[in-house]
Structure 1
């Protein structure tokens, strides 16, 4: 069994402030440890379920967050940003059997996590085919484009709820919930254990239940916080600029959607 893991940090247990997720800030070292612990737990759960090849994509900010010396010896890791439109899913291809998402967070425009955002803090809202889209939404469709089921996600309550709306059969572990600028979180050690057990359970089941149908047509609407950012990105080929802060892109090819999102959100 070949497993792909995309790892973010804002949805890890107990994380509450931006100081805890930005390299060089006061809380980063502690929560870099927690991100690593949750990823290692996912790897251990995958191994227990029979995974023989595990590729981890460090997918937060610099993409050089995980403490690599703590990864099991059977794991490979992708660090840094290649520039490829797959972004947080770079390294995935049709040879993988399942995709896991660790430390994921709610979308821009929601209140389920004090750090909720989509791609970056310039985006106020991203929708795909009229539905609010998170980074998970974008990445789950990337997996689906490669015929890979999204079987497991850990993060805040909001992203777990929306992930199950998109993929009802997937296993989720909600480690925290946001209330304004506060969070209520389970103990980090408990989160690690639940992620390990949840991944093992998810990978021991029927992956086919988690297959996500790829729509035939994609309408992507990006709402920016600032009109000047929307104007600058409006010159991408095929982009419409219906309102001062809003861009629209339509395609039947999801790779073209990923390419547009990659360049529009730079």
Structure 2
């Protein structure tokens, strides 16, 4: 069994402020440790469930956050950003049996995580086919494009609920819940234990229950905070500029949507 893990930091246990998520922040070293611990727990659980290969994409900010010396010997890790439209899912292919999402966070505009955002802080909303999308939405559809079931997600309560709506069969562990600029979290050690148990349980189930069907057509709307960002990106081929802060892109091919996201949000 081959398992792909996409790892972020803003949905790790107890994180509550950008100073804990960004490399130059005083709280970053502690939450880099927690991100690593949660990813290692997922790797160990995947191994216990029968995985003979685990590929981890470090998918936060610089793509160089995990303390790689702590990864088990059977794990391969992708660090940095290639520029490929798969972005946080780069390295995924049809040979994987399941995709796991560790440390994921609520979408831009949500109240369930003080660090809620989608892609970057210049975007107020990203909408796919009329539904406000999270990074998980984008990445779950990427997994579907390769025929890989999204099997497990850990993060704040809001993103767990969103994931269950999109993929009813997915296993989740909600490690925290946001209240304004505060976060109510389980103890980090408990989060590690629950993620380990949750991943092993998810991978022992019928993974076909987690398969996600791709829509036949995609309408992408990106609403920026600043109208100048929308104007600058509006020159992307096929993009429409229907309002001062908004871009629209339509395609029947999800890879083209990913390509558009890659350049429109850069």
Tell me the TM-score range normalised by the shorter chain: over 0.9
Residue 110 of structure 2 is aligned to residue 110 of structure 1: yes
Per-residue CA shift, 1:10-63, capped at 9, x if unaligned?
000000000001002100000000000000000011001000000000000000
The gaps in structure 1 that reach 5 residues or longer are none
1:8-157 alignment to 2 at 5 Å?
8-157=8-157
SS at structure 1 position matched to 2:121: coil
SS at structure 1 position matched to 2:81: coil
SS at structure 2 position matched to 1:50: coil
Per-residue CA shift, 1:107-154, capped at 9, x if unaligned?
001111000000000000001000010000000000000000000000
1:76 and 1:17 map into 2 onto residues whose CA distance is 30
SS at structure 2 position matched to 1:11: coil
2:113 and 2:102 map into 1 onto residues whose CA distance is 15
* 1:235 corresponding residue in structure 2: 235
Q: TM-score normalised to the size of structure 2? A: 1.00
SS at structure 1 position matched to 2:153: strand
SS at structure 1 position matched to 2:31: helix
2:145 and 2:219 map into 1 onto residues whose CA distance is 16
SS at structure 2 position matched to 1:100: strand
1:1-12 alignment to 2 at 5 Å?
1-12=1-12
How far apart are residue 71 of structure 1 and its match?
0.2
How far apart are residue 159 of structure 1 and its match?
0.1
Query: Runs (4+) of structure 1 moved beyond 4 Å?
Result: none
2:70 and 2:180 map into 1 onto residues whose CA distance is 34
SS at structure 2 position matched to 1:223: strand
SS at structure 2 position matched to 1:110: coil
SS at structure 2 position matched to 1:29: helix
Q: TM-score normalised to the size of structure 1? A: 1.00
How far apart are residue 258 of structure 1 and its match?
0.1
How far apart are residue 82 of structure 1 and its match?
0.2
* 1:217 corresponding residue in structure 2: 217
2:237 and 2:122 map into 1 onto residues whose CA distance is 20
* 1:259 corresponding residue in structure 2: 259
